Chains A and B, each alone.
Chain A
Amino acid sequence: MRLAGKQTWVFENDVYIQATGTVVGPFEAEGPLGSQFDVTYRDLYCGGKTWELAERRLMKEAIDICLQKANVTADNVDFFLAGDLLNQNVTSNYTARDIPVPFLCMFGACSTSMETLAVGAALVDGEFARTVLTATSSHNATAERQFRYPTELGVQKPKTATFTVTGGAAALIGREKSLFRISAATIGRVIDAGMKNPLDMGSAMAPAAAATIEQHFLDLGASPDDYDLIVTGDLSKVGSVIVKELLSESGYDVATNYNDCGLMIYRPTQGVFAGGSGCACCAVVTYAHLLKEMQQGRFQKILVVATGALLSPTMIQQKQSIPAIAHGVVIEAVRG
C-alpha cells in the first residue's frame, strides 16, 4: 500500500525531479534570490502585449528551459499537469495548446505547484506515466486585476497584504536518477478558519498549512527533526508566525527549521507588505533556490508545503469566508 495513514502517499519506486525551469519578473529579479532564476525580465510585460500574455510567456518559457535542461522534447513527455490563478486557468490551458501530450488542468490557487508535483510523482510511481511535466505561474498585475483592484488604483493596503509573485515555473518528473528524489506527498484537506479579509491571506491559510504538516507527521510517524527544512509556500510575515504557533500548540517545534517562500523571495525594503504570494512564489523559490541549496549540501531532506487561499472576489462580496488548502511534498537529496 502506497497510502500511509490518511493523507500521505509514499513513493516506493524511485521518482525524481529531472529538471526545472524558472522565469521571473523585475521585482523578483531585484530580490535576494534574483541571480538564481533561469531568466529574469526587466518589465512586467515580459515581452507580451498584455499582462495575461506576459504570464503565458513566463509559463511557456519556464517549460522550454526545463525541457531543454532535461534534454527532451515536449512530445517525449507522457502527461502535462498545470494550473494557475486566472479564471478558467487560461495561462495553463493556452500553454497546453503547444504541448502535444495529454493534459490535466489543476486548480489549487497558490498550492498548485506542489499539487501538480505530488500528482505527477504519483502517476510516475504508479507506472501510469514515465515522465510528467508540471508547470504553474502567477503574475502580479493579472492577479491584482482579477482578485483586487486595477493595478494603478490608489488604495492604501494594510501590512497584512501580500504581493503576488510574477513568475513561471516548470518541473519534469521521471524515473531517471537525479539528485532530487520525491519520496512522499501529503494531500491537504480544505480548511476554512472563517477568515474573511482578502487582504490577509496568511491568517486564512495558516490553519490549512498546519493541518497538512501535522497530518504528514502523523501519517509517517515523523517529527520536525526529520527534516532539514520545512517550508511553506506563501504564508508571509503574518501567516508564518501563526503556523509556527499552531504547530507548537500541537506539540511540534519547528522554530529552527522552518521558513516561508514568501519571506525569501523579496527584500523587506521592496515595499511588498507582508511578503510574496501567488502560485509562482512557492514554485520558483523551491525549483530555483531550495534545490540549489540541496545540491550544495545545505539541506538533505525538505518538506515543501504549498499553501493556497481558495479566494473568489464574488464569494467575498457575498460575505463568505476564505477556504484554504495546503499540499506537502518531500524532496530528498540522493548522492552517489
Chain B
Amino acid sequence: MKLKENYQQAVKVFQPKPPYVLNGIKAFFIGGLLCLAGEALQKGYVFLFDMSLLEAQHLMLLTFIFLAIVLTGIGTYDSFSQFAGAGATILITGFANALASAALEHRSEGWITGVANHMFKIGGAVIVYGIVVAYLFGTIHLIF
C-alpha cells in the first residue's frame, strides 16, 4: 500500500508496536513482587509492633505511599514506571506518584494556585470514579 494513497493505514508499518507481551510480563512480576513485599511488610508490622492486622495494613500502605513520594521527589519513580509499566502505575504507589508529581510540578505557581489546585490534575479521575463506582456497587449490594 502506498503512503500517499491511504496514509493513515499505510503509515502503521513504520510505527513500532509497543511490546505488549514483554510489558505484560514485566508488569505481572514487578507488580506481583511489590504486592508480595506489601504482604511481608504487614506481617512484619504485626509481629514487630504487636498490632492488629488492619492497623498493620494501614501502616504498610503508608510506608508504600511514603516511599513512592520520596522516589518521585528524587526523580526516580518515573524511570521505574517506564520500565515496570502497569506494575508501577496501578498500585497505590502509582496514585501517590500521580499526586506528588503534579504537586511538585506546580510548586512554582505557589501553594494555593499551584500545588493545591493542580495536585489532583491526574489523580482526580481516580477519586471521582472511585466514588462513583463505590456508590454503584453499594446500591447493587443494597438491592440484592
Q: Residues of A with Cβ closer than 8 Å to B?
A: 49-52, 145, 149-160, 193-195, 200, 203, 206-207, 238, 241-242, 245-246, 249-250, 271
- Report the nearest A residue to B103, measured CB to CB: A150
Interface string of B93-131 (1 = CB under 8 A from A): 010011011101110100000000000011000000000
- Chain B, range 75-107, C-beta contacts under 8 Å to A: 75, 77-78, 80-82, 85-86, 88-89, 94, 97-98, 100-102, 104-106
Decide if B97 touches A153 in the complex (CB within 8 Å): yes
> Of A52, A152, A194, which one neighbours B104 at CB under 8 angstroms?
A152
Q: Which residues of chain A are within 8 angstroms of B15 by Cβ–Cβ distance?
A: 160, 200, 203, 238
B3-11, B46-54, B136-144: which lies at the interface: B3-11
Q: Which residues of chain B are within 8 angstroms of A250 by Cβ–Cβ distance?
A: 4
Q: Which residues of chain A are within 8 angstroms of B104 by Cβ–Cβ distance?
A: 150, 152
Question: Which 4 A-B residue pairs are closest in the complex by CB-CB distance?
Answer: A154-B81, A150-B105, A152-B101, A50-B108
Q: Which residues of chain A are within 8 angstroms of B102 by Cβ–Cβ distance?
A: 150, 153
In the bound complex, what is the Cα–Cα distance between A167 and B106 (angstroms)? 22
A192 → B minimal CB distance (Å): 10
Q: Which residues of chain A are within 8 angstroms of B23 by Cβ–Cβ distance?
A: 156
Consensus secondary structure, chain A interface? loop
Q: Which residues of chain A are within 8 angstroms of B85 by Cβ–Cβ distance?
A: 156
Q: Which residues of chain B are within 8 angstroms of A207 by Cβ–Cβ distance?
A: 7
Q: Which residues of chain B are within 8 angstroms of A156 by Cβ–Cβ distance?
A: 23, 81-82, 85-86, 89
A323 → B minimal CB distance (Å): 14
Consensus secondary structure, chain B interface? helix
Q: Which residues of chain A are within 8 angstroms of B97 by Cβ–Cβ distance?
A: 152-154
In the bound complex, what is the Cα–Cα distance between A215 and B49 (angstroms)? 75
Interface string of B8-45 (1 = CB under 8 A from A): 10010011101000010000000000000000000000
Q: Which residues of chain B are within 8 angstroms of A200 by Cβ–Cβ distance?
A: 15
Q: Which residues of chain A are within 8 angstroms of B2 by Cβ–Cβ distance?
A: 249
Decide if B77 touches A152 in the complex (CB within 8 Å): yes
Decide if B122 touches A150 in the complex (CB within 8 Å): yes
A65 → B minimal CB distance (Å): 27
Decide if B7 touches A151 in the complex (CB within 8 Å): no
- Report the nearest B residue to A152, measured CB to CB: B101
16 A–B contacts from the bound complex (CB under 8 Å): A49-B108, A150-B104, A152-B75, A152-B77, A152-B78, A153-B98, A154-B81, A154-B97, A157-B82, A158-B18, A159-B16, A193-B7, A193-B8, A195-B8, A200-B15, A242-B14
Decide if A154 touches B94 in the complex (CB within 8 Å): yes
Given A159-B18, A238-B15, verify A152-B3 contact (CB < 8 Å). no
Decide if B82 touches A245 in the complex (CB within 8 Å): no
> Of B8, B75, B89, which one neighbours A155 at CB under 8 angstroms?
B89
- Report the nearest B residue to A145, measured CB to CB: B105
Chain A CB within 10 Å, residue with most, of B7, B8, B15: B15
B72 → A minimal CB distance (Å): 5
- Report the nearest B residue to A158, measured CB to CB: B18
Decide if A151 touches B81 in the complex (CB within 8 Å): no
B63 → A minimal CB distance (Å): 18
Chain B CB within 10 Å, residue with most, of A154, A155, A157: A154
In the bound complex, what is the Cα–Cα distance between A156 and B89 (angstroms)? 9
Q: Which residues of chain A are within 8 angstroms of B98 by Cβ–Cβ distance?
A: 153
- Report the nearest B residue to A274, measured CB to CB: B16
B134 → A minimal CB distance (Å): 25
Decide if A246 touches B78 in the complex (CB within 8 Å): no
- Report the nearest B residue to A239, measured CB to CB: B14
Decide if B14 touches A152 in the complex (CB within 8 Å): no
In the bound complex, what is the Cα–Cα distance between A57 and B4 (angstroms)? 42
Decide if B101 touches A242 in the complex (CB within 8 Å): no
Q: Which residues of chain A are within 8 angstroms of B82 by Cβ–Cβ distance?
A: 154-157, 271
In the bound complex, what is the Cα–Cα distance between A195 and B8 (angstroms)? 7
In the bound complex, what is the Cα–Cα distance between A49 and B109 (angstroms)? 11
A228 → B minimal CB distance (Å): 26
Decide if B18 touches A151 in the complex (CB within 8 Å): no
Q: Which residues of chain A are within 8 angstroms of B73 by Cβ–Cβ distance?
A: 152
> Of A154, A158, A193, A246, which one neighbours B89 at CB under 8 angstroms?
A154
In the bound complex, what is the Cα–Cα distance between A149 and B4 (angstroms)? 33
Q: Which residues of chain A are within 8 angstroms of B3 by Cβ–Cβ distance?
A: 242, 245-246, 249
